[in-house]
Amino acid sequence: MATPDRQATTLALAHALSAAERGLAVIPLSRTKLPALRSPHRDDPGPAPCHGECGRFGHGVHDASTDPARIRALFAAAPWATGYGIACGLPPHHLIGIDLDTKSGTDSSAALRELARRHLFTIPATVVVRTPSGGRHLWLSGPPDVVVPNSAGRLAPGIDVRGAGGYLVGPGSRTEHGVYTTAPGTAHLPPAPCPPALLRLLLPPPRTDRPAPPSPAGGHGRGLVQFVLAAHEGQRNTRLFWAACRAYEAGLGPALVEPLVEAARDTGLTEREARATIASAARMTGHRP
């Protein structure tokens, strides 16, 4: 008889394969809801731009696949996995996840209803996944030529968005806090098209090209700011975190906070996201943010 964890892994693999049949690319997750396979580049110096080109597993959402053989190989490499993640933004569904959280002390469902009232849209019938904490994930489908970014609380307090480069915990996954389940009557539904008015709210404001903000910290500081400005979708937080760590290690952290925040905002991050990432870098390097 299989151990309970082994049973959870077997069930997670079965659910993942079922999702793949619906065109949803998946990866194995641990009980903490993080990708089960560690990066093969974790000991490499500096940032790791590899998104799986090296051919090894451990690149998070970039490992996601709908190929049954690859999915089985991913789970075989992570026998401790008890869940699976569904990559967002990929064809054919170009999945967008609206995460209605219950842990923030706000009524995120009411916030979404208020947004719908003010901006004249309705959420169509679609897949709804219940989280162990009582929250809900709404699955929507986006246009193929639109990149929806990930965000936390930007739409409204308690509402997170999972877009390109992000993933949703799939129904049937077992985590430290319980099991994710599909709400009754929604499992058979395809992800419904995202209402145009809501889609406009999910997109960042148009980016205007402008020169890097002046850095009071000399050439090295300007180089770190430029490094952040060159970030593409999916690497903005990583580049900002790396640059902030190098700034604090060089004694330039306090002087570069504002230039780095401004650069991060130019790449599409919110000020809140940028300051949180820089504060994490400060703590990581032993400084007070």
pLDDT in tens, 138-182: 999 999 888 899 988 888 888 999 999 999 999 999 999 999 999
pLDDT at residue 219 in the model = 61
Computed over every residue of the chain, the mean pLDDT equals: 87
Per DSSP, the residues of 183-207 read PTT-TTPPPEEPPHHHHHHHSPPPP
Q: How many domains does the chain have?
A: 3
Phi, psi of 116 (to 5 degrees): -65, -40
Same-domain check for residues 94 and 83: no
| Contact partners, residue 32, CB within 8 Å, separation at least 6 | 175, 176
At 277, the pLDDT band (50, 70, 90 cuts) reads confident
Last residue of a domain, one of 41, 58, 87: 87
112 is a domain residue: yes
Q: Please calculate the CA angle 269-270-274 and round it to the nearest 5 degrees.
A: 75
pLDDT at residue 175 in the model = 95
More confident residue, 73 or 107: 73
User: Is the pLDDT at 49 greater than 50, yes or no?
Assistant: yes
pLDDT at residue 152 in the model = 86
Same-domain check for residues 181 and 127: yes
Mean pLDDT of 1-10: 69
The residue type at 199:
L
pLDDT at residue 205 in the model = 64
User: Is the pLDDT at 82 greater than 70, yes or no?
Assistant: yes
pLDDT in tens, 205-217: 655 555 545 545 5
Same-domain check for residues 230 and 260: yes
Mean pLDDT of 105-115: 88
Same-domain check for residues 95 and 70: no
CA dist., res. 163 & res. 51, Å (int): 17
Last residue of a domain, one of 52, 69, 87: 87
Same-domain check for residues 144 and 172: yes
Domain with 80, as residue range(s), is: 1-87
User: Is the pLDDT at 23 greater than 90, yes or no?
Assistant: yes
pLDDT at residue 120 in the model = 94
213 is a domain residue: no
Tell me which residue of 207, 199, 197, 198 sits closest to 143, measured CA to CA. Answer: 199
Same-domain check for residues 197 and 92: yes
